[in-house]
A and B are shown apart, each in its own frame.
Chain A
Amino acid sequence: MIETDQLTRCYGHLTAVDALSIRAEPGQVLGLLGPNGAGKSTAMRMIAGFLAPTSGTARVCGHDVRREPLKAKRALGYLPEGAPSYGELTVREFLQFIVRMRRLKPDVGYRRVDEVVHLLQLDDVLEQCIDTLSKGLRRRVGLAQAILHDPPVLMLDEPTDGLDPNQKHAVRRLIDTMARERTILISTHLLEEVHALCNRVVIIAHGTLMADATPAELEAQSRYHGAVSFSAPGSGVSQEMLGRLPQVAAIEVDPLDGRITVFPKPGMRILEPVQTLLHEQGLEVSEIQLERGRLDEVFRQITTGTADIA
């Protein structure tokens, strides 16, 4: 479990993290979302014990990072931003260094190194210097380091940053399999990641908590939630007709491809009426889609306070 309690960090006059209180439970993948410079990494560094909080505190598995820093660190696996590691060591040497630092028993340590190396598919590069590895491999080495002691709490700062789509997929699957009995906190600015991984999202901007919800709840805040969009040639006629439907709030036409989006009035469902109307009018629709809501739009709205226009 990770808990932060009014966690605050100032750099001189700048408040990087401002009275942040969040909570992540076992079985949860909590996404810490925010624009660059929002304070995500600073918050994580305080939870990991690298930076001291200016005020407030954080607890990892009930261990206060200020009063019991070593116990908190033992319960935590942490991947710092950019996945730093000692480049002059080989992957094996680096992982053995972590084994010693975490005081794992030698037999447990060797077994775990084998397991994580297999899990992250590092077998082929085990004897290579980390400096010679690609960015994706180095990130995997960082992940291996974080999960080596099988921690109950995992905190990953931008775990898929700089990976290619296949590697992203692999890392997400790994996080997914580990999520069942663990508490996982990941920071990201990739909205696709939220869909793929998180069952709760915390959005911060300028160091303050802006939203704490499930991805579905966030999507529901979108203007696009429940909207219906379709492509139909000869749309001039249908627009007028659609406007007469009692459930419809607005209609927008994409100037580029002519795709029509119909927005519902609050709480109304419009897929069926729109479909019926189109059918009655005998209009050919190549494809029709019910929108779940757009996270990127909600994200912009929450973090900058301005919504999209069109």
Chain B
Amino acid sequence: MSPISAVLRRELRSYFVTPVAYVFLVIFLVLAGILTFYAGDFYARGQADLQPFFVMHPWLYLILVPAITMRMWAEEAKGGTLELLLTLPVTLWQALLGKFLAAWLFIGLALGLTFPIWFTVNYLGSPDNGVILAGYLGSWLMAGTFVAIGSCLSALTRSQVIAFILTALVCVLLILVGQPQVLEFFQGTLPRKLINAVAHLSMLRHFGSIARGVLDVRDMLYFLLSIVGWLVAGVLLLDLKRTR
């Protein structure tokens, strides 16, 4: 068995032997429900789709994903197990990928457990299930980006609190950067091309079309490249910590 899956299994095991996993799953499902039915006006819209459910996901991940990723490296650095892990025959890549995949799969599980909402909407009407599937896929890809950001920034510090705050901050910036208010703020000071480029970095923009059921290759590429980019940064950061 490869060290990636060994790390992955140990991470998942650590989630489930402590209350972390269960607390997370319960809060995730409760919040997803509340946001959809109350904040999202699920019934009042009178439409059989899951858009109010997916629209809330960036905000849900903003709070919950950093809570999962903050311990990833910070805890190991503080507890001394980082030394154990990195003196086993494993590359930084394998260690980081194992941890990233564990967290991503775990969020995938939480997402999968929202299936009653899908049942509900199918019971109430006849939604386009292809659109819903695309929404789930897009949401999971976006979650992967959040997890990748968290796994990079957790390597930066021994403090889980700092890791949480940094991750949440970067994520909120990436969510908001494409909003009209933010773009207007920069309108006078930055060149138009740069503003356009910045707007394309926005998560909401890419996730929005997926949530509506438009599975554009460019949007998927945006999330996949973001994941790869943040993971590369994480490995570089871990390597930098070895040398200084």
Contact = CB atoms under 8 A, between A and B. Distances in A.
B13 A89 contact: yes
A80 B87 contact: yes
Nearest to B10: A97
A271 interface: no
Contact of B10 (A11, A80, A81, A86): A86
B242 A50 contact: yes
Contact of B14 (A80, A82, A89): A89
A52 B242 contact: yes
B136 to A, nearest CB: 31
Interface string B76-95: 00011111101111110000
B81 A84 contact: yes
B14 A102 contact: no
Nearest to A80: B83
B5 A80 contact: no
Interface in A74-129: 74, 76, 78, 80-82, 84-89, 93, 97-98, 100-103, 129
A142 to B, nearest CB: 8
B83 A45 contact: yes
Given A78-B87, A84-B84, A51 B242 contact: yes
B120 interface: no
A145 interface: yes
Most chain A CB neighbours (cut-off 10 Å) among B5, B13, B87, B242: B87
B17 interface: yes
Contact of B80 (A11, A51, A84): A84
Contacts of B34: none
Contacts of A103: 1-3, 89
Question: What is the size category of the interface that chain A forms with chain B?
Answer: 20 to 34
Interface string A250-269: 00000000000000000000
B173 interface: no
B243 interface: yes
A161 to B, nearest CB: 13
A73 interface: yes
Interface string A133-166: 0000000000001000000000000000000000
Contacts of B87: 48-50, 73, 76, 78, 80
A231 to B, nearest CB: 48
B90 A101 contact: yes
A145 B87 CA distance: 12
B89 A89 contact: no
A50 B18 CA distance: 28
Question: What is the size category of the interface that chain B forms with chain A?
Answer: 20 to 34
Main secondary structure of the interface of B (DSSP, over half): helix
B98 to A, nearest CB: 10
Nearest to A86: B81
Contacts of A93: 13
A192 to B, nearest CB: 26
Contacts of B212: none
B205 interface: no
A86 B14 contact: yes
A277 interface: no
A129 B6 CA distance: 19
Contacts of A49: 86-87
B6 A52 contact: no
A273 B62 CA distance: 86
B158 interface: no
Contacts of B90: 70, 101
Most chain A CB neighbours (cut-off 10 Å) among B9, B86, B91: B86
A277 B113 CA distance: 93
Interface in B62-114: 79-84, 86-91
A87 B76 CA distance: 11
Contact of A101 (B3, B17, B18, B80): B3
A28 to B, nearest CB: 21
A101 B14 contact: no
Given A50-B242, A52-B243, A100-B3, A89 B84 contact: no
List the 9 closest A-B pairs by CB distance, nearest first. Answer: A84-B80, A100-B6, A48-B87, A73-B89, A80-B83, A52-B243, A101-B88, A52-B242, A84-B81
Interface of B: 1-3, 5-7, 9-10, 13-14, 17-18, 79-84, 86-91, 242-244
Interface of A: 11, 45, 48-52, 54, 70, 73-74, 76, 78, 80-82, 84-89, 93, 97-98, 100-103, 129, 145
15 contacts: A49-B86, A50-B86, A50-B87, A51-B242, A52-B243, A78-B87, A80-B80, A80-B83, A86-B10, A87-B79, A89-B10, A97-B9, A100-B9, A101-B88, A103-B89
Given A84-B84, A88-B14, 11 more contacts: A48-B87, A50-B87, A51-B243, A73-B88, A80-B83, A80-B84, A84-B79, A84-B81, A84-B83, A89-B13, A103-B3
